[in-house]
Amino acid sequence: MIRLFSFCFVLFLAGSFNLVGQTTNKEAEDALAKGIKAYENNKVEAAIKLYNKAIKLDPDFAEAYYNRGEANSYQEKYPEALADFNKAIELNSKYSDAYYGRGNVYSDLEQYPEAIADFTKAIKLDSKNALFYNDRGFAYSALKKHAEAIEDYTKAIELDADDANAYYNNRGDAYAALKKFPEAVEDYTNAIKLDPKDSSAYSSRGDAYFELKKMPEATADFNKAIKLDADNAKAYSGRGVMYGMEGKNPEAFADFNKAIKLDPKDPKGYFGRGMVYLMQQKFQESITEFNKAIEVDPKYPKPYGPRGAVYNMQGKVPEALADYTKAIELDPMDFIAYNSRGNVYQKQGKFPEALADFNKAIELNPKNVSAYIYRGLIYFKQNKHSEAIADCTKAIELDPTSAIAYGLRGDAYTALKKFDEALVDFTKAIELNTKNAGVYNDRGAVYTKLKKYTEAIGDYTKVIELEPNNVNAYKMRGDAYFNQEKYREALADYTKYIELDPKDAITYFNRGQAFFNLKKNAEALADYTKVIELDPKYVDAYIKRGLVYFEQEKHVEAIADCNKIIELDPTRALVYGFRGDVHYALKKFPEALADFNKSIELDPKNAGIYSDRGATYLELKKYAEAIVDCTKAIELDPMYARAYNDRGKAYKALGKTKEAEEDFAKAKALEK
């Protein structure tokens, strides 16, 4: 940004506004004229002495105060300059140049509201002076009021189109600050037309071309800028970035080093070196360079975002958030910083804050693919699956090659049980990125839900190929094999999972089931026992272990497991039924009867328990009760052969031969 208050423009003002002659004291007028002449020859101290003389000769000589103010300002003696401009304005309240001079002092002191007030006053007094508009535009830009700045630069160009090189440059900078890079390129081009040797305009246009991803044009401009001015630090920084993107790191470092040598107080060279280190994954070196850039200019926004990214990778989340926030404070148009901060918030589960950031990022850049994806991820986590699908669809519209967007949309379709749509998306995501194990895993899960176990096994196998230590893939593939009754293959996967995660009770249980189905009761028993060791409240493990004990005729142990289950969950009807079966096997019929009664109380629709209680009544010679229970079992399950057989026995015991023979015949027919 070029503010046109400089030594040469002080001379222009002195020559343009007939400052001499505003006093009746000829000696004071002569001293002022000589002071201006000395100033023209860059003899500032001599000029100040002559201005002092003029003021001494005529203490009401406003022009002398004004010129001394300009000289003090040039020497950065701002309190003295302000005092002089104040006095000039006190003596002549319509002195536009004095307001302008004081406004420039306020700008140098970064007191931009005061500067704008003075420039505005100067414009009211002299609305045809392009410099006044230009420098007010500079103050607006410093306050990030770029739209107002553009209006002022446009007015300056309108007033002085033939000498508007600097105004075009300044307006181009304001457009660039608003991310309006095509407009910025047009202004820098106009500046170059007015001054084909303007190295700064070429380097600025190179930056704008870079943002527009017009890399050949950017490189050409940086080279031209350096050719015109071998000391243009900004051009070296810009070209260094281009070299870095091309992987030409030695050339990049050479340009950044040159930029730093030319201007050690320009942060761009340090920032550029930091970015090259970042691309090389030399994170500590990149932090050092970003720190240096911030040290030389804490208001330069660019290093904060990348430094935040490094902090985030290092797990330094508070530092990362602070950097992203600072980047936004310094450049409210930085949609990437909003993206980055929003992503940190979503990982922290701070969804309102994250959504606010992604919404802002999209507002700033409606073509911001990653913001739609991140926002879609938050919607997904909030179970707002339709909204997630809408955002992913928008991301895909903007970038049809985004595998992440297809994968996330597939997850949302899965959550809505739209499995066909999910499979299409997962398949597309895999087509775009064949190395993403997560998407294979997600597609495998959908195939599992659809009972397409062969396809699921293929996907989990691919996950394992890509990530040999992915424990979940072994478990899921094991489950798929189990569902196909391929118990040996399931055993191998469960065993691998346990090797990788020996503390997972569920997988021990699943492996125990596989052993049980393979009639390997000893191994099953060991696994069920391990489950209980890892999770003493794992009810199903007690049930399955109890069944193994029962098959091994270890009835006491089986009853102990049933007792434990009832202690953990007294509402499980089947457990009472099972314990009743064990008591029945031990010929403890009263105890068995009590358990069957409790089981029926909890679940009056279980045909098997009525049949078991009927069998117990048979043993107790309570035939009428046995007939009632067997009849109930048949009512609930007309195909229950055992119930017919036991009822036949009860009828026979009561001498009801016909009924008995009919039941025996029915049982025999059902058993075929």
> How many structural domains comprise the chain?
2
Specify if 30 maps to a domain. yes
pLDDT bracket for residue 672 (50, 70, 90)? confident
211 pLDDT higher than 80: yes
Q: What is the pLDDT of residues 119-137, one digit of tens each?
A: 999 999 999 999 999 999 9
Q: What is the pLDDT of residues 585-633, one digit of tens each?
A: 999 999 999 999 999 999 999 999 999 999 999 999 999 999 999 999 9
Which of 146, 167, 188 is the last residue in one of the domains? 167
Q: What is the pLDDT of residues 21-63, one digit of tens each?
A: 368 899 999 999 999 999 999 999 999 999 999 999 999 999 9
CA–CA dist 90, 88 (Å, integer) = 5
The answer to whether the CB of 321 falls within 8 A of the CB of 308 is: yes
CA–CA dist 290, 272 (Å, integer) = 9
The answer to whether the CB of 446 falls within 8 A of the CB of 424 is: no
Mean pLDDT for the stretch of residues 138-167: 95
Specify if 317 maps to a domain. no
Which of 167, 192, 223 is the last residue in one of the domains? 167
Which of 167, 184, 207 is the last residue in one of the domains? 167
Q: What is the pLDDT of residues 250-260, one digit of tens each?
A: 999 999 999 99
User: Helix-strand-coil percent breakdown of the chain, rounded to 5?
Assistant: 80, 0, 20
**What's the confidence (pLDDT) of residue 17?**
40
362 pLDDT higher than 90: yes
Helices marked H in 75-129 — which ranges?
78-91, 96-108, 112-125
Q: Which residues contact 28 (CB under 8 A, 6 or more apart)?
A: 53, 54, 55, 57, 58, 61, 64
Mean pLDDT for the stretch of residues 196-210: 96
**What's the confidence (pLDDT) of residue 24?**
86
Specify if 29 maps to a domain. yes
The pTM of the full predicted model, rounded to 2 decimals, is 0.73
Specify if 562 maps to a domain. no
Q: What is the pLDDT of residues 4-14, one digit of tens each?
A: 444 344 444 44
Amino acid identity for residue 506 in this structure = I
**What's the confidence (pLDDT) of residue 14?**
43
The answer to whether the CB of 152 falls within 8 A of the CB of 134 is: yes
Q: Which residue has the tokens 């929003």?
A: 342
CA–CA dist 262, 269 (Å, integer) = 10
Specify if 222 maps to a domain. no
* Residue 128 lies in domain: 1-167
Specify if 286 maps to a domain. no
163 pLDDT higher than 90: no
Specify if 647 maps to a domain. yes
Angle at 167 between CA 164 and CA 172, to 5 degrees: 125
Q: What is the mean pLDDT of the chain?
A: 94
Angle in degrees, 0-180, between the axes of helices 419-432 and 403-415, rounded to the nearest 10: 160
Structure tokens at 199: 């190295």
Specify if 495 maps to a domain. no
267 pLDDT higher than 90: yes
CATH code for position 95: 1.25.40.10
**What's the confidence (pLDDT) of residue 569?**
94
Q: Which residue has the tokens 């009632």?
A: 628
CA–CA dist 10, 72 (Å, integer) = 12
Structure tokens at 302: 């660019």
Q: What is the pLDDT of residues 401-425, one digit of tens each?
A: 999 999 999 999 999 999 999 999 9
**What's the alpha-carbon Rg for the chain, to the nearest Å?**
43
Mean pLDDT for the stretch of residues 314-329: 97
Percentage of the chain exceeding pLDDT 90 = 95
CA–CA dist 96, 101 (Å, integer) = 9
CA–CA dist 46, 52 (Å, integer) = 10
**What's the confidence (pLDDT) of residue 605?**
96
Helices marked H in 399-470 — which ranges?
403-415, 419-432, 437-449, 453-466
